[in-house]
Structure 1
């Protein structure tokens, strides 16, 4: 597999037209970029970020209804104010061919400890940066909502159906991205305009990554392989519609209580699925779904087995402006049937959940979200083999952007 990685990198570098013969300054497309690259690297670094504080204790009907992957302050005895995220983002074009991005989270794991979320650099393979290699820890290009920043997403948590593919959406690896300059500008517009875009992960992406997910050591010598193709169509009316398809495969080592020396811990897994996004101008609609196979706890066998999985969501939203205030009502229904490989014993999940909410933005630096959740969740493993919980609650989140 290591030889395969080297061959892919060499192929991508040598297929770039005239890569080694381009004058680095004269080839830069814009005067702005020429100005940037003449500055010392430390003058190009920018700092931005956001913080989210939540309260999940209103009208809670079942304290045993939980989702540890979603929000550790949901359910149990954890009611109270809770910092969900405190992100600082350091980024900059430190060379005409090198972009760096580092994002720590100061509220990781629910106990306000610091942890690296992203730490990568983009190596431009051509003058226009249409071909890039992303090297380091970054988001795995699988799913629109997984790639969408939590700073921009409307529902408070990502849906189980595709977020169960990669814990914290990230891993350590090498990713190749391609998109023409015009499409890269469109991706940036969809974020900067407030239309809740997913960011620039290329029109086409191909990656090799460890597979055990971010901030966890690799457990085998097999890389995961992922690929994604997407295109944001702009209609004559100005409406933008994006369609995507993504897939990945690999071998994953699960966390389980070893009963015998022959118990299986490594499982082959794969997933694939489409995405459709109609950006809110002013009405918006999203839908994603995926199918695949992976490890899942079986309560009847009291063992972890290879099993099918499937899940996704549909979401509708609407942008309503009242003076300088922006109101975005939304609703989402999501469904998941499968295991969560990164939880103990690849915990068996059956999720059906309806969310109805509204986001209020008095200005770009502050957002308040109120979301009512009606949930039916089954989550079972060898420590709790019979566990189905139903309930509802009102959740609030205040977000500051800087």
Structure 2
């Protein structure tokens, strides 16, 4: 009976004398007849939360070092007392004993403390300290260059306050890092209002997203920009310069505006131009020959205009500054505020993909007439210089620059007079890390 019930039902057929087939055997394994179990979907595991990094785990260490070789091939390496020697305020390695020098050995620590606050600290291990023994300097001290925090005032990070010792937003060339600059040195005229480029204070930076997008595209293209600064800035600093004690209780005020724009509309597809202006008002007390710092504050007010076309492949860059600055008056035998002006024009040609790496040949002319306020007694400089050179990047981590300059300079010492004229050949190797 069990076998008959287990067999499927069949429609009735006509009677026949053929005997019925034997019934199929009953399975002995109960599992064989058990219904197939329906799979049960397991609940998906909850996503594992990523552990948030502590602020110190987000810090980055980087930097660069520049080793140079300077050789005066013609002109006064030495001169009698009272006569200018061939020297430069931009590089003390240009001297009668040129040979090898370390111009910069920078170490940077930077990172985000939170979504709204980041820090930046930079020191230079190639700083020199003067008058250590019989007026001899000591080399390669570790000295602070930057120590600041950026506080972002909006989620998009278009508006920020920079607090601490940082670069003064005066002059495009001053803001550009020396690791990115094509020529070896900044020009005297643009650097004179802010020697050392930095001071202690607060800056408000604003960068519209459209401008930031252009700068981001230039960075991706490998262009050498001026760094992490806004398109618009207003600032207040102590005004005595980098690593100096405040002397007069006043503030140096600075304002900057710089705007890049594409040149596709005039047939220069892919090229970008940038124009801007910066201005500063200050009262400065220079060091004096008799010792210490002047008790008189001198007007130190300047305006700068800059413009450039980023090289793709040809580029041009120019700046000019006007103003008044502390300057030694030889007739009076004293310091007074006098006119200071000058600037430069530079042409370059960028070849990013040659068989030996990126090449950027360049030519630059510079001129300056005015005081150099960071030297004792703020001596007057008269600079005329023509230079040509090439920057070669065989590797991302390695840069080599060769440079020739025809120079006419006044030495930055009010006790020496006249123009030192000559020719200088220079070379630099920079490694980035």
Is TM (by shorter chain) over 0.5?
yes
In structure 1, list runs of 5 or more residues that go unmatched.
1-34
Name the CA distance, whole Å, in 1 between partners of 2:51 and 2:374: 42
Task: Give the direction of change, closer, same or farther, for the CA distance of 1:37–1:270 in structure 2 (3 Å limit).
Answer: farther
Distance 1:71 1:189 in 2: 33
Q: In structure 2, what is the equivalent of residue 95 of structure 1? A: 114
Offset at 1:381?
4.5
The change in CA–CA distance for 1:345 and 1:281 in structure 2 (over 3 A counts) is same
Q: In the alignment, is the contact (CA less than 8 A) between 1:146 and 1:158 conserved in 2? A: yes
Equivalent residue for 2:247? 219
What residue in structure 2 maps to residue 316 of structure 1? 347
Does the 8 Å CA contact 2:72/2:422 hold for their aligned counterparts?
no
Residue 397 in structure 1 maps to residue 416 in structure 2: no
Q: What is the alpha-carbon distance in structure 2 between the residues aligned to residue 108 and residue 36 of structure 1? A: 43
1:85 correspondence with 2:104: yes
Aligned residue pair count: 364
- Matching of residues 38-57 of structure 1 within 5 Å: 38-57=52-71
Q: Does 1:124 align with 2:152?
A: yes
Distance 1:42 1:60, change over 3 A: farther
Report SS of the residue matched to 1:184.
helix
Moved more, 283-292 or 248-257: 248-257
RMSD value, Cα:
2.1
Residue correspondence of structure 1 range 328-343 to structure 2 within 5 A: 328-343=360-375
The TM-score normalised by the length of structure 2 is 0.80
Equivalent-residue separation in structure 1 for 2:186 and 2:145 (angstroms): 16
**Residue of structure 2 equivalent to 1:105:** 124
Name the structure 2 match of 1:285: 316
8 Å Cα contact 1:187/1:199 also seen in 2: no
Worse-superposed segment, 231-240 or 146-155:
231-240
TM-score, normalised on structure 1? 0.86
Inter-CA distance 67–193: structure 2 relative to 1 (3 Å threshold): farther
In 1: Cα distance, 2:419 partner to 2:387 partner: 19
The equivalent residue for 1:76 is 96
- Separation (CA, whole Å) in 2 of partners of 1:103 and 1:287: 28
Say which is worse superposed, 119-128 or 319-328, in terms of deviation: 319-328
Residue 14 of structure 1 aligns with which residue?
A: none
Give the secondary-structure state (helix, strand or coil) at the position aligned to 2:422. strand
Structure ID, larger Rg: 2
Deviations 1:171-225 (A, max 9, x none): 1100000012342343344345431111131110000001111111111100000
- Is 1:371 aligned with 2:403? yes
Aligned equivalents of 1:183, 1:381: Cα separation in 2: 43
> SS of the counterpart of 1:344?
coil
Which residues in structure 2 correspond to 1:3-402 (within 5 Å)? 38-57=52-71, 59-64=73-78, 65-77=85-97, 79-109=98-128, 111-191=139-219, 193-236=221-264, 237-258=269-290, 265-320=296-351, 321-323=353-355, 325-379=357-411, 381-384=413-416, 386-402=417-433
- Name the structure where helix makes up a greater proportion of residues: 1
**Partners of 1:295 and 1:191 in 2: CA distance:** 38
